Amino acid sequence: MGLDDYRSKTVAELSTGTRRIAELACLVALEPVLLLLDEPSSGIAQRETEALAGVLLSIKGHLDTTLVIIEHDMPLIMGLSDRIVAMDAGRVIAVGTPQEVQANPAVIESYLGITEEQNPVRVGVGPGEDGPGRRRSRVAKPT
């Protein structure tokens, strides 16, 4: 799980991302058939998200464990998933492969707003909307 460098540290000394990987190691030791993860990349740095993605791919590929992940980090979830269920306001708007969901018009509208082709006037990025696929830009309607 890539934790060898931290074996002499206490969990309290680890970064949030490394703690998440340590928590996953504890769960994997139980040999689960299903892991439900709620926003595992929330609050961690991009390089830690990349490390987490590698660990999750390893779990998926080597342990015959089903992963159910609730996540807003679109690049992470697109890279991990065989099947995605996209929701908006508690309602399912698309189900399919990452490519199918990413191309779905309801997903594009819900997650990205109106496309630039429809209206090229850009409005600034809102708080917490700094990652690709995270409502990175909004397009305003002309008045």
What integer is the mean pLDDT of 8-30? 88
pLDDT, the chain, mean: 79
How does DSSP classify residue 120?
-
Q: Per-residue b/e over 88-109, b at no fewer than 16 CB within 10 Å?
A: eeeeebbeeebeebbebeebee
pLDDT of 136 strictly over 80: no
* Whole-structure pTM value: 0.68
User: Which residues, 6 or more positions from 110, have their beta carbon under 8 angstroms from its beta carbon?
Assistant: 86, 88, 93
pLDDT of 116 strictly over 60: no
What integer is the mean pLDDT of 11-30? 88
Token readout for 8 is 């002499």
Out of 20-29, 60-69, 83-92, 133-142, which region has the weakest mean confidence (pLDDT)?
133-142
pLDDT of residue 130: 40
Task: Provide the residue type at 65 as one letter.
Answer: T
Q: State the Cα–Cα distance between residues 42 and 38, nearest whole angstrom.
A: 9
pLDDT of 11 strictly over 60: yes
How does DSSP classify residue 116?
T
Q: How far is CA 142 from CA 69, 111, 114, 138, in A?
A: 38, 20, 12, 13
CB 75 within 8 A of CB 133: yes
Query: Domain 1-81 belongs to what topology?
Result: Rossmann fold (3.40.50)
What integer is the mean pLDDT of 131-135? 41
- Identify the residue whose tokens are 């082709």: 117
- Identify the residue whose tokens are 């850009």: 122
Q: Map out the domains of the chain as residue ranges.
A: 1-81
67-86 pLDDT, tens digit each? 999 998 888 999 999 999 99
